[in-house]
Structure 1
Amino acid sequence: MNFILRILIIGISTYYISSSLPWWSIIFIPFLLGLIFEDNYISHFLSGFIGVTISWIFLLLSIEYQSESILSLKVIEILKINSTNTLIIITALIGGIVSALSSITGLSLINIFRKKKDKRNYRFN
């Protein structure tokens, strides 16, 4: 349940944050969720990656259709990429990786300060 909740929170907040703030502002929400939710590293990596990747695909497609591909065509010429879809996928994957690493960083930071329970060693002589 935490996994799906994190994906939804990251995805929705990224969609609205990315339209008004710089692209690197996507790191704040996954970082905070990494601090709040206790789970394993793979779960945090995937929730950050999936949430931002899907959110950025929707955001980039809406920008693409509003601007009639003017900016995308110029970027494609500079980077020598085949199509706008490839550009959108590459951009979304970069955002997903950045967000996933941010979520893992939040989890790692809280694990440094979290006290681990001692394993009890029962010995019967």
Structure 2
Amino acid sequence: MQFVLMILLSAMVQYFLPWWSVVIIPFLISAWKGKSGSKAFFNGFLATALLWFGMAYYEHLRSGGILTDRISELFRGIGTIGLLTATTWSGALLGGMASLSGYLVRQAVFPKNPSPAEKAQAYW
């Protein structure tokens, strides 16, 4: 549910706002519904990776490969595959870290109150 919601809302936000606005949605969704730090990170990581790969590949097909060829020349000829890979990884890391940050902010603002048994176990 969170994964699909991240993809759909991020795609809508990214269409109207700058590229960096994609991190807002994973942050907010994980702050609202994140289950654990690792799940939050991987949800944001995979959702943003799929979104950015899909959008980059769409632009590649739409331009007939001309745009990606010219951009890859700027990066010393890494090629289309390298450019799509770099785009996917950079977006994935941004989304994963934003999602983890949202979860950690929620934990800092609204900490879970441990039960007396958990307190005793942590003490010993």
Would the TM-score normalized by the shorter structure come out above 0.5?
yes
CA distance in 1, matches of 2:21, 2:27: 11
What is the count of residue pairs matched by the alignment? 118
Change (3 A) 1:49 1:38: closer
Amino acid at match of 1:73: D
CA distance in 1, matches of 2:10, 2:92: 11
1:80 equivalent to 2:86? Answer no
Worse overlay, 44-53 or 79-88 = 79-88
CA distance in 1, matches of 2:38, 2:116: 27
Moved over 3 A (4+): none
Unaligned 5+ residue runs, structure 2? none
Amino acid at match of 1:111: Q
CA distance in 2, matches of 1:26, 1:10: 9
CA contact (8 A) 1:81 1:87 kept: no
Higher relative helix content? 2
RMSD: 1.6
Unaligned 5+ residue runs, structure 1? none
- Paired-residue identity, %: 20
Using the TM superposition, give the Cα deviation of residue 16 of structure 1 relative to its aligned residue in structure 2, in angstroms.
3.0
Query: Residue deviations 1:1-51, cap 9 Å, x none?
Result: xxxx11111112223332332110101100111111131111000000000
Superposed, which structure 2 residues align to 1:28-43 within 5 Å? Answer: 28-43=24-39
